[in-house]
Amino acid sequence: MAIALAKLLISAMAVFMLVSATFATSEEVPFMVVHKKATLNRLKSGAERVSVSFDIYNQGSSTAYDVTLIDSSWDKAKFEVVNGNTSKSWERLDAGGILSHSFELEAKVKGVFYGAPAVVTFRIPTKPALQEAYSTPLLPLDILADKPPTKMLDVVNLIF
């Protein structure tokens, strides 16, 4: 079931990116693709940390200004930020450019966590309203599981 779900998710993301890139090239605007990923790191003390990273790509044909990433999906009752921030701002992202950001959390409770997409807002000089883009979602994370976490690369290799 999990393998079929992962295959479906990968296929859907590929189709979305292809269709979206086609529409993005039809006018002179930024087009943001935001990839969110998380890895679990078990500590010897029995605690577990979640490393979260983002790559923000501007696949459009013009610069995006006042770029802000906000990832508010991490409940403070369940996670504590131990390194970095869950939000970040940049002055601009040129066409064809990439921005990266990461932070680390420590899990406070055991259970399965379903992470929501992060939000990236940016400004286009020709439009008065802020524009929004959403990151890819996370696959469910089994926090403090009794078994060691499976690396997603191993799951992808099994699929293909």
> Residue 153, exposed/middle/buried by CB under 10 A (0-12, 13-18, 19+)?
exposed
> 109-126 pLDDT, tens per residue?
999 999 899 999 999 988
Q: Is 18 or 137 the better-scoring residue by pLDDT?
A: 137
> 133-156 pLDDT, tens per residue?
999 999 999 988 876 555 665 655
Name residues whose C-beta falls within 8 Å of residue 37's C-beta, 6 or more positions apart in sequence.
Answer: 52, 53, 54, 136, 138
Q: Rounded to an integer, what distance in angstroms lies between the CA atom of residue 106 and that of residue 108?
A: 6
Residue 84's pLDDT is what? Answer: 97
Q: Report the Cα 70 to chain-centroid distance in Å.
A: 10
Q: Which of 59-63, 76-80, 93-97, 152-156 is the least confident region?
A: 152-156
E strands, 30-113, are 32-42, 48-58, 64-70, 79-83, 87-93, 98-107, 111-113
Q: Which residue has the tokens 């479906």?
A: 8
On the question of pLDDT at 25 being above 50, the answer is: no
Residue 12's pLDDT is what? Answer: 52
What domains are there in the chain, each with its CATH number?
2-159 (2.60.40.10)
